[in-house]
Amino acid sequence: MNKENFSAAVIAGGKSRRFGRSKLFIQWQNEWLIQRALKLAASIADDHMVVSGESGLSSLINAPVHADLFSNSGPLGGIYTALKKAPCGHVVILPVDMPLINRELYQLIYRFYSFKHPVVAKSIKGLEPMVSIWPVESHKIIENMLQKGDLSIRHAFKVLSADVVYVPDEMDNYDDIIFENVNTPYDLERLKQKLPGKA
């Protein structure tokens, strides 16, 4: 993956209602989740950004922060905003709440990227839409969906003929834990228990 040809966008627009406070500033290995995600983004692409409505975030991190261009449009709206703001022709999408994802995972799905259609990771739980790569041109179809009130990422993948990579079959030494996300304090504690001494 040529870092100059891609933008990387951390999607961090959730309200964190289930966690009770902003997930962006949860500590994992002595850094905020948002810092961890941005570090990964920077390892993937020279151009990287955050899509978030978090107040004051831009003063705390060293990356551009963009609010959703379509308000209350969920993750698909965050992806749309990233595609519209990206100066490059292709955008790597990263979640803020999966602290164990890594560059190896993105290199894996990149191998299946056609440069014409999105590519998305799939775990044993199903599609992982926030682990994906999109051609910027996809924004046209997504915009049409959002204007109609269709916020379904799965529908977007279908309409855009996305390629799906079943990661358990493709990654050496695959472990389901890589796709664990942190939505609640319980999720965080459970993950810490699975990885004692590493959180």
Distance CA 46, CA 6 (A): 7
Q: Could you tell me what percent of the chain has a pLDDT over 90?
A: 72
Q: How confident is the model at residue 192 (pLDDT cuts 50, 70, 90)?
A: confident
pLDDT in tens, 131-177: 999 999 999 999 999 999 999 999 999 999 999 999 999 999 999 99
Domains of the chain (ranges, CATH numbers) = 3-194 (3.90.550.10)
| Predicted pLDDT at 17 | 54
| Predicted pLDDT at 114 | 96
Higher pLDDT, 17 or 166: 166
Question: Could you tell me if 48 and 38 are in contact, meaning their C-beta atoms sit under 8 angstroms apart?
Answer: yes
Distance CA 158, CA 138 (A): 12
Distance CA 96, CA 59 (A): 18
Nearest to 160 by CA among 175, 180, 145: 145
User: Per-residue pLDDT averaged across 11-23, rounded?
Assistant: 67
Q: Could you tell me what percent of the chain has a pLDDT over 70?
A: 94
Distance CA 62, CA 135 (A): 25
Q: How confident is the model at residue 188 (pLDDT cuts 50, 70, 90)?
A: confident
The dihedral through the CA atoms of 159, 44, 27, 100 has a sign that is positive
pLDDT at 76 over 60: yes
| Predicted pLDDT at 21 | 64
Nearest to 6 by CA among 42, 32, 31: 42
Tokens of 49: 């950004």
pLDDT at 2 over 90: no
Question: Could you tell me if 58 and 112 are in contact, meaning their C-beta atoms sit under 8 angstroms apart?
Answer: no
Question: Could you tell me if 3 and 44 are in contact, meaning their C-beta atoms sit under 8 angstroms apart?
Answer: yes
User: Per-residue pLDDT averaged across 117-129, rounded?
Assistant: 97
Distance CA 199, CA 196 (A): 7
- CA 52 to chain centroid: 12
